Structure 1
Amino acid sequence: MPTDWRSLPPLTALRAFAATAELRSFSQAARVLNVTHAAVAQQVRALEDHLARPLVHREGRGVGLTADGEKLAEALGEGFAAMIRGVEALRAGEADRPVRVTLTASFAAQWLMPRLKGFWDRHPDIGLSLHPDARVMDLRRERMDLAIRYGNGDWPGVEATWLAPARLVIAGAPALTGERDLTIEDLRRMDWVLSPNWPEQDSYLRSLGLDPATLSRTDIDSDDLAIAAARQGLGLVVESLALVEADVAEGRLRLVHERAETLPAYFIVNLPGQQRAAARAFLGWLKSQV
């Protein structure tokens, strides 16, 4: 049976009466509700007018309840207790849910995953829910705690913290590049693993005097696969520095050239305001990786 919401008195009046009935005092009810004594008394009188019957009466310095008031107080006590249990259960579930993070698949695979053991060594009880997606999500609507985004860090309505460099670099397996510095002529003769239809990559190569159309190239439209191919010595790759940092540090790839720009970069993005403890812990750990 649907609830007849129009028949209910205002919730503020019911709450004021329930607090007064529990504490037997307008003044004490006002303190717990963080309103004035007069406001509580006015709400209770309004409830009595709505129901057309008295609910309270003066009793020394406090108040007593009429027979109707006792019945209503008992029903409201049960109802508000059920509401409180429901809200507390929801809050507990929200506190325990994994930290939800949206980021690109490539950044997750190449930058985050190699570092995650360090986070779980510190916080083994915190779960993560990673959502690899190239789209820019609405954090509030999608209920995301954090995002890792590529750009200039100037998005409206969110807080952005610099995380990792995204400037383009050229890298290759040491077996392919050798140890010496490579000239433009060396680069022109070498094999490449490139992304098709990526203007920023092509502009970078042209700035070095290389024509992307004339290079000996294998086109792979996936950062992860292109980096994997470069590790195998199949060609030089153009990538964001953050995506090959681990490979360079561990000797699987060698940097041949890198741009000097500081932006765009990868940023940690979150909504302003208080965050859950688990989300704060993950955010703090991410910042420690800078």
Structure 2
Amino acid sequence: MNEIGSPVQSLPRPGRRLPPLLSLRAFEAAAAHLSFQRAALELSVTPSAISHQVRSLEDTLGQPLFRRLTRQLALTPAGQRLFDDLRTGFDVLEAGIDRLRRPPASQTVTLTTNAAFAARWVLPRMEAFRKACPGVELRLHASDTLVDLARGDADIAIRSGRGQWPGLLSRELMPERYAPLCSPMLGLKRVADLSKHQLIHCDWQPHALAPALWPRWFREAGIAQPKSPGGGAMRAPALSFSDESHAMLAALGGHGVALLSLTLSAPEIRSGALVQPFGPALDTGSYFVAVANGRENEAPLRAVWNWIVSQTTTGS
């Protein structure tokens, strides 16, 4: 543009002054093999056709490209220079065409998060992810063990906590709270009725800042631990799981009351398969998306980061 809104008139481009492509291909093949016969086999033509194309090229250039010896060909100095240039040019052209023929290479991003979040939040959204990030292959690392993003053990993480991790750039996604949840078939209404049902316990990792455990829940509820039907102290949890998804399945089956994530149990709460008979809900921090400092502008990581954030801001 020479002025705002005024397009520049493009100058006519002069045509390329090149010999016919067929003669150049014939010469390059013959020079590579130093044989019209083998060049003919490579290009699926006759030796006489190769000879004709090479002779035509020599006439066009006005100088010989081969010295024709008895049962042998040898390149002239001009022929050698042209062969070197053509070989380089054809190699570049072939590589460019090959890149166009190949499908775009997928970019793999490893997302690490805990097993429950992977199963309950990430996997149900995979179709949305494929539509939003068609060029990214997501590798899901589901483990409650923290990995070192700075060392490259994974590319991006969704972690729960306070979001203050050295060497990581993080953004808060959503607060996390845990509350007593159970099947409506239990008919649970009052805290005192907890003594009639099993408490379902789920293990927490040692690094958890504020684990949602039953003793903590009773403390924050400001009530004494209910007595068992026989009058003694309530027995220890009768069901214990290392995975929150399994604890949820037990609660859905009516096997007791579990302290479960309100975020991860949202579909079951909406459908009525699980109910929260009473509070309080325990604050366990928030979910954060995190990457190692310095990697936040890598295109595939940025695409995954933006998709994760979009899924929390749109209420998906």
Q: TM-score, normalised by structure 2?
A: 0.55
In 2, the alpha carbon distance for the partners of 1:287 and 1:97 equals 20
Instruction: Give the superposed CA RMSD.
Output: 3.3
Aligned amino acid, residue 122 of structure 2: L
- DSSP 3-state at the match of 2:157: strand
Partner of 2:196: 189
Check 1:128–1:174 CA distance in 2 against 1; reply closer, same or farther (3 A cut): same
Partner of 1:284: 306
Aligned amino acid, residue 278 of structure 1: P
| One of 250, 256, 278 as aligned partner of 1:229 | 250
- DSSP 3-state at the match of 1:243: coil
1:137 shift after superposition: 1.4
| One of 277, 284, 288 as aligned partner of 1:256 | 277
In 2, the alpha carbon distance for the partners of 1:105 and 1:197 equals 12
Aligned amino acid, residue 309 of structure 2: K
Q: Given that residues 146 and 268 in structure 1 are in contact (C-alpha distance below 8 angstroms), is that contact kept between their aligned partners in structure 2?
A: yes
In 2, the alpha carbon distance for the partners of 1:289 and 1:102 equals 17
Partner of 2:160: 150
1:268 shift after superposition: 0.7
Check 1:153–1:197 CA distance in 2 against 1; reply closer, same or farther (3 A cut): closer
Aligned amino acid, residue 210 of structure 1: Q
Partner of 2:225: 210
In 1, the alpha carbon distance for the partners of 2:274 and 2:284 equals 23
Total equivalences in the alignment = 202
Aligned amino acid, residue 310 of structure 2: S
In 2, the alpha carbon distance for the partners of 1:146 and 1:196 equals 24
Check 1:221–1:210 CA distance in 2 against 1; reply closer, same or farther (3 A cut): farther
Structure 2 residue 140 is the aligned partner of structure 1 residue 119: no
Aligned amino acid, residue 192 of structure 1: L
Q: Given that residues 172 and 237 in structure 1 are in contact (C-alpha distance below 8 angstroms), is that contact kept between their aligned partners in structure 2?
A: yes
5 Å-filtered alignment, 1:257-276, equals 257-259=278-280, 262-273=283-294, 274-276=296-298
User: Greater helix share, 1 or 2?
Assistant: 1
1:191 shift after superposition: 2.7
Aligned amino acid, residue 272 of structure 2: G
- DSSP 3-state at the match of 2:163: coil
In 2, the alpha carbon distance for the partners of 1:190 and 1:144 equals 41
Q: Given that residues 121 and 264 in structure 2 are in contact (C-alpha distance below 8 angstroms), is that contact kept between their aligned partners in structure 1?
A: yes
Partner of 2:13: none
In 2, the alpha carbon distance for the partners of 1:216 and 1:149 equals 27
Q: Given that residues 171 and 236 in structure 1 are in contact (C-alpha distance below 8 angstroms), is that contact kept between their aligned partners in structure 2?
A: yes
5 Å-filtered alignment, 1:10-159, equals 96-159=106-169
Q: Given that residues 189 and 216 in structure 1 are in contact (C-alpha distance below 8 angstroms), is that contact kept between their aligned partners in structure 2?
A: no
Q: TM-score, normalised by structure 1?
A: 0.59
In 2, the alpha carbon distance for the partners of 1:160 and 1:133 equals 19
5 Å-filtered alignment, 1:154-173, equals 154-173=164-183
Cα deviations by residue, 1:65-103 (Å, 9 ceiling, x for unpaired): xxxxxxxxx9xxx9xx99xx9xxx9xxxx9732221111
- Structure 1: runs of 5+ lacking an equivalent: 1-73
Question: Which structure has the larger Rg?
Answer: 2
